[in-house]
Amino acid sequence: MKETAPTAKAAEETKASEASAEPAPVVAAAPEFADLPPVLIVAAECAPLAKTGGLADVVGALPKYLAKLGVDARVIMPFHRDIKARFRYETTHLFDYNASGVWPSRFVGIEKLEHEGVTYYFVDNEYYFGGDIYSGGNFEGQQYGFFVQAVCDALPNLDFNPGIVHCNDWHTALIPFKIKARAKREGSWPPATVLTIHNLAFQGTFGDDLESKLIGDDERAFAWDLGCWNMLKAGIDVSDRVNTVSTTYANEICTPAFGEGLQNDLAHVRDEGRLWGILNGIDTDVWNPQTDPCLPARFSADDMAGKRECKRELLAELGLDDDVDAPLIAMVGRLTPQKGLELVPGIVDSLVPMGAKFVILGSGYPELEWQMRELEGRYKGRVCSYIGYNGDLSHRIYAASDFFLMPSAFEPCGISQMIAMRYGSLPIVHETGGLVDTVEPYNQFTGEGCGFSFARFDFWDAVEACKRALEIYGDTAIMRRLTSNAMERDFGFDRCARMYAEMYRSMM
């Protein structure tokens, strides 16, 4: 049949009908990783609730940034004394029970808190968590062995059904072992498991007297040759994915030099495709020199005037000589042998006569604390050793310093050097682990780079790297270029969270 053209009246009616029709609604695309199952992150500490080191920063930032990608990630941790003091009246009691196994104290209370957009679950037991975050000695093994058991017992009863359980360091490393043993016993399907190694040097190895509390007979039958008194080894051997916090460290720990006795286990995990290296990031909302409320003045890569004012104020605050033009070298972190503290007295002795000033913030081994105090006494007005933890002060130190010294013997990742660069403080580092992955050494021929480094863990090499830094300090153009390079590097946690989401997806 021959088609006929529509009449003028019909055309007008059609046009009017189209004009009056509502536009089709715009459907927002689902977040990229919204298809992933819920994730429960298990850790001993988590910023801003309880913190002793970089582990807390990572655990604190990860759920917030995973949420941006569409992942429902929540945290479970001990109800430490300081958390209870701050939030006891804001938490909701979910349930309580007696932990399975043989423990001097078995009560477990499960509390829930919504704080700054993150859901937290707390394991409450005053006997184990009423003191320090880490009690030390053999009791620390009981402390976190109990925590592991309490988490495993609580999992089936939470108001949350995680498809992935993400554990962190030895304190939680027995969880993948235990939930897989239970699933095998019950004929059920366990959630996928991830173990993040923030520092391989700490493995949760305690005496045989603790083993009977940690491992039941049926669990030992699950893997009779596992050597479960080493909690970290148990997690490495059975977790679906194991990751470290930098690419270089992931390679290093498969070697005898850095493997801490577990290099063969880790090389096996690597060969099976279960080992990942995911570089840590920092929370750029917290660490931002343009908005940081802890600073006396704000600044940016485009306007550095505020940094000079921060330096002037810090020198006065700490009682250092008020010469704002002298180079200021900072250290912030734990005072332990890992951090290369054995090199520091010699470095200070060599650089103070060259005009450098030092500020050191941290706590740790008593003998190292004493050495840092002794340096302050020897160079009063040129060296300040603040022994202890002061979060607000750490912000001001990063902002005021010209250089940031981090001569670590080994470094799984390191966050301090990232923060330092964010605040325009140029790192001076040993070329190891995550320091290799984050600090590009200054190249005098191309002008590229954002810091200084030395290859051998050696006093002479470390001092030479520091001297190279001081040599360029007086060249305003070079300092401006390197500082700009450092501040423009992207260490935001968005990239880090995306890598974790990719690792989660690889298990699905």
Tokens describing residue 224: 């009779």
Sheet holding 383-387, edge to edge: 383-387, 357-362, 328-332, 403-406, 426-430, 452-454
> How do beta strands 426-430 and 452-454 pair?
parallel
Q: In whole angstroms, give the CA distance from residue 357 to residue 343.
A: 16
Q: Are 418 and 438 in contact (CB under 8 A)?
A: yes
**Annotated binding-site members for ADP-alpha-D-glucose:** 51
Please give the C-alpha separations between residue 35 and each of 39, 74, 408, 499, in angstroms, as whole numbers: 12, 16, 40, 15
Say whether 42 sits in a helix, a strand or coil.
Answer: strand
Is the link from the previous residue into 48 a cis peptide, with omega within 30 of 0?
Answer: yes
**Annotated binding-site members:** 51
Q: Are 418 and 450 in contact (CB under 8 A)?
A: no
**HSE-up of 274 (CA within 13 Å, CB side)?**
19
> How many other C-beta atoms lie within 10 A of the C-beta of residue 11?
11
Rounded (5°) CA angle 70-71-72: 120
Which candidate, 384, 395, 403, 399, places its Cα nearest to that of 320? Answer: 384
Please give the C-alpha separations between residue 341 and each of 238, 325, 337, in angstroms, as whole numbers: 35, 26, 6
Q: In whole angstroms, give the CA distance from residue 327 to residue 476.
A: 12
H or E element at residue 480 = helix 476-488
Say whether 344 sits in a helix, a strand or coil.
Answer: helix
Say whether 497 sits in a helix, a strand or coil.
Answer: helix
Q: In whole angstroms, give the CA distance from residue 270 to residue 267.
A: 5
Q: In whole angstroms, give the CA distance from residue 310 to residue 399.
A: 6
Q: In whole angstroms, give the CA distance from residue 426 to residue 404.
A: 6
Q: In whole angstroms, give the CA distance from residue 352 to residue 327.
A: 10
DSSP code, position 389:
-
Q: In whole angstroms, give the CA distance from residue 340 to residue 345.
A: 10
